[in-house]
Chain A
């Protein structure tokens, strides 16, 4: 009798709760993604989860195959011999999810919008003379001067792929989110079942016509064999693992390595690496603030840090991490051993070196403010480890714990530490986001306020990055890339803390899971 008000309230809400619930289709693949999906505009966000979402719903003109080669996807392409004209022809049967056909106008508009938000696309536009639709299904890109990586950019899966969307959406100014999620991809987004931060639902796009070629990464035939894909966010890995064991979910995109033993015992669950690219953990110096405005001090810090320890603590199982000096990722075409000298020797030897360098540098004991994210598991350990090492080397270090989004916004400011500035922090990059000098944000040597946090200044670096864009052959590119890598180490742009692979876990009911630069949901059977 006391609780009448409460009860009636409750019933109402229970009913409300039911509305949000999906009606189950025949085959549903439930996946726990590495992060919850909170925003939907693939042109706006560099977050991996949004990218993955993008590849469900949207398509790119070109796809990228397992050999890092651009391949026709929405469009086939012809390049003029003078490398100044690219002609792209849309393939047959492309339809937006709202039923309208895909036109060249749409694609032009999409390219324009994309080029405003993606860093490397911006650079590209400096070389582009015009992009125009010459017919319903043909668009032509005229260049002012040759620009090597253009096709690569159109095909690249990261950080912001060149997703195509209907003109009416593409006309949404950058900064605003597109009002609805309409693409031409193999999956349709179910807006009604979308619960930001909790669940996203995709259904098979029945009208989708796959290409003929076999599927390879984002290129080739995207054949969908499940009716429905549900992304479920879970607050902690423990819950996810319980869930996959009880069969509540079919796939965990990224399992905390330490917990793999739990799944090893279970023969209904397989584990493996779906994304061969992996991600590079990077420790970034603030080149504008003392003590790290002094290259000698930075160098000392570089020696204090130690890939092995950092990775051991973060990942644990050495099967799943790789140590290499390459700033582009350990296995990409541009990978090289340049700068290996900075990683030589055991942790202790390096420490000795670090202490000696620091002593020599005349470091005045200015405390290092190290930012640590509390809510992003992959990155919580490194700052602690790094802090310990740096202290041992003779640094004064203060670890400031904050949640990831505070850290993200704080990193953009270069005011003195006292006023909320910073000296050092870690982040990680999907290799696809750094695999060549064009996309790699950390090697920007312009010192420009708008360049990515850290603001190193190095004229030579800028020349090289420019050269790279015009470089014709792969060998040229390699050569330039290596010199860049050398500078990145010598001038301590940042510390490459090693590369880790994210391990996925899936129930054995799932067959033919595709590997790719992001998690792909086509090809797989259930």
Chain B
């Protein structure tokens, strides 16, 4: 990685303070300072709420009106203070001198305007170029981010592009006028690892070509390893620690930084757990799921709609006390498998044996009830999986009451379970919004345990959480699994997580199982190209966070 050049910094933030407006203002940024030199990449790392995104918005002068305001400090772009500059001036700078890429490529582009027009606007706004020139410039820009068939892209609408392509478009737009400063706010978080890798490389490449200074915001230590020259660790609106990537990652000065690094799961699989006896609690036999979309017209004309085979004969066994991880990128069908197991989707064919009984053909709540009691699910987003209007207690005992258990007993059990998942008993009477994301996920786990199931299906159960919390929840899962000898079906896109908790790993791609075997084997010695590609793409794979040093030859 190129060391940062000397000379005047492109962006120099000094003692920047931002606080919310309204009756009780709260400080979001408590006076942070940092510099970025030309051609240098500075990573703002931190967990949610650390204020890293706000920093970027201040620099772009895009703070939401009436909600946040700068209360002190300066942010100088090439020596010119953005904070005190006139709106007209900052508008002129935006897009020309400094540009930004946002996290969600899906929503960052205007759905009702063609890509071409949205690109064209930049040139119109900042240059005197004439129509044809603008168009060719745009096409060139698309080409430079290696988008296929720029002409087609130019005329298409965002929804016609894949996530990766959209992010490339965003980058093309951002770098169209060769800005001095590029701000990238979690630009790859919403993307699959393979795409993520390409995007990161792209940014790197362009930055070197144009000698752009990049302010890169991320929560993912792996990404930091891959892209950053210097790192700025943030927490609660303060900069905890700054330094070159090497320093910060190998000899972190602050405890917080150490914890962060420690929480990053390692890619090298944990030692396989001994298995005493084989007892299948869940077995899938050639399960298929076909989604058919038939338009009204084709129904009329008896034409077949277009069919999507989301899951192609998937079979596996899950034994008591074991954890099976299903890994894959979005659209690989891993979640569909999970939903079939719970009969939230009805499999098109195949058998689903829960404790030996096939539940695939069963119809209706009552018929499914016992099977569902045996198989419980933990959803991805703890904010949505708990009814905001019910107390934790009510949510917990709902299933028990359905099963006919008296309220008092159920509440008692719920209380105990809360303690099991590491929450105080009195949490029973509190509402979801009074808990943090991690705590909510704990409640969700407790709710599943209330049904004393044999299998727990965890669909991306930790991917919405910050790394430190993630670690804790994973530990909790492992603990309850051990204590209750549970089988866990763990759906994830994150190989690091899979490596740490799975006994067996099943890799899926476009609905098919491409590789299935013991975690150690699959992840350290992948047979299938796709699996290999996934591992290749895993950010920071050549850094050992636990030991704080570069891994010489990849695992």
Report if A and B touch in the complex (beta carbons < 8 A).
no
Q: Chain A interface (Cβ within 8 Å of chain B)?
A: none
Q: Chain B interface (Cβ within 8 Å of chain A)?
A: none
